[in-house]
Structure 1
Amino acid sequence: MSNTPPTPETARFLEVNDNSWIIHHLIVTRYQSKPSQPCWPDGEGALFSIDDAPTPTPPTRPPSHVCPISDAGNNFPASLTWKIGLAHLRIDFNNLGTSEHVTLEALAKRSLGFQIPQVYYHKYLGKSYSIVFSDLPGNPLIKAWPTANQAARTRWTQQIAEAYHELSKWRGDRICAVDGGNLQCFWLSSTTPSVPGSYNPEVLRANCEEMGLDCSELVFAHNYMMPLSFTVDEVQGLVGICRWEMAGFLPKDWIRTMTRANSFTQSWQAVKSSWSESDINDFGDKIESALKDKGFKEFWLNNCRWREEKRRRQEQEEANRLQPPTV
């Protein structure tokens, strides 16, 4: 197998046969009985497993129309996610901080009022990081929201705010991931594209201070507000929270600031295709109100100004770089 790190452009998705598929450097296989490799249910009585793709690569074909693996549709420029049975496989191609399985292991040791995913598999290859995590019970909020009544919508958003408040009781002494490592928060990076130094605690603190955020109160935050992050049902309301790859200790003021700036993030494409404008506005308004009621402050305008200044600095640096040297 090649040790060349994957990228979104080079990631392969090919079919070996009716029960095996290659996704870049990995092979996913469907079994009728439990294999020795890490595995998870397909939802129809069989199991999926995952392992390193064999070398040489076996003969392959394009995925057939009955292929059980699908694009999860919540991709970033540096990551891809697939739905495989009752789990998701995500490959991050530029992993510069603490990995999600570390955060989930730490969260599993705490008493939480909601469920989190189970990790079935993780692997590093150069800068890339692959993780398979379980689906959460309940209905994805992104599917439930358009047909929900106002009472259900209010309940869900209030429960999300309560979950964020619950997490914020866990305190830290610097801006970092759960294990003290770098926190890969794209929205707090002052460099594009990100580099290894973009996310160290001192750099992130300086960026937060430039925004005028109070850095004396650092709390644990999910840091990934979007409809794809939550599952709900009619009995419990909020059931589970997923997408913990950017969770960590942050200024408390950042939580609502981030949500106010963008409460949809990676779910935006799916939201645009299935929600009305009224649905979209209602979600943003209700989340904003619920977080405010829990005592979270927002510095959205400061964040906008900081991002604009960051853009100007980068443009000036690029212009200086391209300017021919004086003779």
Structure 2
Amino acid sequence: MSNTPPTPETARFLEVNDNSWIIHHLIVTRHQSKPSQPCWPDGEGAFFSIDDAPTPTPPTRPPSHVCPISDAGNHFPASLTWKIGLAHLRIDFNNLGTSEHVTLEALAKRSLGFQIPQVYYHKHLGKSYSIVFSDLPGNPLIKAWPTANQAARTRWTQQIAEAYHELSKWRGDRICAVDGGNLQCFWLSSTTPSVPGSYNPEVLRANCEEMGLDCSELVFAHNYMMPLSFTVDEVQGLVGICRWEMAGFLPKDWIRTMTRANSFTQSWQAVKSSWSESDINDFGDKIESALKDKGFKEFWLNNCRWREEKRRRQEQEEANRLQPPTV
């Protein structure tokens, strides 16, 4: 098999047999009893494990209609996600910052008022990064929201804001990931597509200062507000928070600014197909109100102006690049 890192465009998902599937450079195997290697449950008494795909690749076929692996649908420009039993596999094809398992390991050492995923597997291959993380208990908020009453919706969004407030008590001294490494925050990058230097602390700080954010107060932030990030139930309300790949120390002002700019992010396609316009507006309004009540400020207009200026600069740079040299 080639050592060339995969991309979303070269994605391969093939079936080896009734119990083995190849996903890019990995092979996922189903076992009827718990194997000795790291594994996770399928929810029906069997287990899944994951490893590097064998070389040469064995004979394969398209996935059958009874294949237990499904497309999770919450894709980003450079990542793909699959639901496999009681876990998710995500492959990021352009990993330029601290990896999510490092953040989850750090969070696991803290006392939190909500649950976070367990990591079953992680691996780097060039710029690509693969992680298998557990499902969280409860019902995904994206499924629960449309049928929930106003009291439940208000409770959930207030609990999310409280969780964000709880995290913000953890302070940092620069804009970076939990281990001091680069924080891959797509929405703070001034270059598209992102390059290795897009996310170093000095560049991110300069971008935040251009936006007018107060960089004297750097706090830990989940930094991935969207309905796919939360699970809820009727007893606890908010149960868990997932999607920590962009978490890190950021200006406190960024938390509500980011949410005000886009409170759906990667979940937008799923939201559009299952939520009404009223549901969508209600989520944005309630999250905005709950964060405001917790003392978070927003600089949404500054963010819009900064992004527009960034777009103009890039267009001018591209025009200059294409301009023929003067004789």
The secondary structure found in structure 1 opposite 2:61 is coil
Q: CA deviation at 1:37?
A: 2.4
The secondary structure found in structure 1 opposite 2:238 is strand
**TM-score normalized by structure 2?**
1.00
Aligned twin of 1:235: 235
1:102-158 Cα offsets, whole Å, 9 max, x none, are 000000000000000000000000000000000000000000000000000000000
Q: Is the contact made by 1:114 and 1:238 (CA closer than 8 Å) also made in structure 2?
A: yes
Alignment partner of 1:192 is 2:192: yes
The secondary structure found in structure 2 opposite 1:21 is strand
1:34-84 Cα offsets, whole Å, 9 max, x none, are 223221000000000000000010000000011000010100110000000
The secondary structure found in structure 2 opposite 1:136 is coil
Q: CA deviation at 1:224?
A: 0.1
The secondary structure found in structure 2 opposite 1:9 is helix
Structure 2: how far apart are the matches of 1:8 and 1:197? Answer: 22
Q: CA deviation at 1:324?
A: 0.4
Q: Alignment identity in percent?
A: 99
Q: CA deviation at 1:33?
A: 1.2
Structure 2: how far apart are the matches of 1:87 and 1:110? Answer: 23
The secondary structure found in structure 1 opposite 2:297 is coil
Q: CA deviation at 1:228?
A: 0.2
The secondary structure found in structure 2 opposite 1:249 is strand
1:191-214 Cα offsets, whole Å, 9 max, x none, are 000000000000000000000000
Structure 2: how far apart are the matches of 1:38 and 1:110? Answer: 24
The secondary structure found in structure 2 opposite 1:163 is helix
Structure 1: how far apart are the matches of 2:76 and 2:275? Answer: 21
1:163-222 Cα offsets, whole Å, 9 max, x none, are 000000000000000000000000000000000000000000000000000000000000
CA RMSD of aligned residues (A): 0.4
Structure 1: how far apart are the matches of 2:241 and 2:226? Answer: 10
Q: Is the contact made by 1:175 and 1:218 (CA closer than 8 Å) also made in structure 2?
A: yes
The secondary structure found in structure 2 opposite 1:285 is helix
The secondary structure found in structure 1 opposite 2:70 is strand
Q: CA deviation at 1:237?
A: 0.1
Structure 1: how far apart are the matches of 2:93 and 2:247? Answer: 18
Q: Is the contact made by 1:81 and 1:90 (CA closer than 8 Å) also made in structure 2?
A: yes
Q: Is the contact made by 1:214 and 1:253 (CA closer than 8 Å) also made in structure 2?
A: yes
1:270-310 Cα offsets, whole Å, 9 max, x none, are 00000000000000000000000000000000000000000
Aligned twin of 1:213: 213
Q: Alignment length, in residue pairs?
A: 327
The secondary structure found in structure 1 opposite 2:215 is coil
Structure 2: how far apart are the matches of 1:252 and 1:310? Answer: 22
Which moves more between the two structures, 104-113 or 28-37? 28-37
Structure 1: how far apart are the matches of 2:106 and 2:238? Answer: 21
**TM-score normalized by structure 1?**
1.00
Q: CA deviation at 1:3?
A: 1.1
Structure 2: how far apart are the matches of 1:82 and 1:236? Answer: 27
The secondary structure found in structure 1 opposite 2:178 is coil
Structure 2: how far apart are the matches of 1:210 and 1:224? Answer: 22
Which moves more between the two structures, 36-45 or 196-205? 36-45
Structure 2: how far apart are the matches of 1:24 and 1:230? Answer: 28
Q: Is the contact made by 1:138 and 1:239 (CA closer than 8 Å) also made in structure 2?
A: yes
Q: Is the contact made by 1:223 and 1:255 (CA closer than 8 Å) also made in structure 2?
A: yes
Q: Is the contact made by 1:37 and 1:51 (CA closer than 8 Å) also made in structure 2?
A: no
Q: Is the contact made by 1:223 and 1:248 (CA closer than 8 Å) also made in structure 2?
A: yes
Which moves more between the two structures, 123-132 or 32-41? 32-41
Aligned twin of 2:96: 96
1:10-49 Cα offsets, whole Å, 9 max, x none, are 1210000110000010000000112232210000000000
1:218-238 Cα offsets, whole Å, 9 max, x none, are 000000000000000000000
The secondary structure found in structure 2 opposite 1:159 is helix
Structure 1: how far apart are the matches of 2:36 and 2:246? Answer: 31
The secondary structure found in structure 2 opposite 1:225 is coil
Aligned twin of 2:53: 53
- Runs ≥4 residues deviating over 6 A: none
Q: CA deviation at 1:2?
A: 2.2
The secondary structure found in structure 2 opposite 1:70 is strand
Structure 2: how far apart are the matches of 1:30 and 1:225? Answer: 33
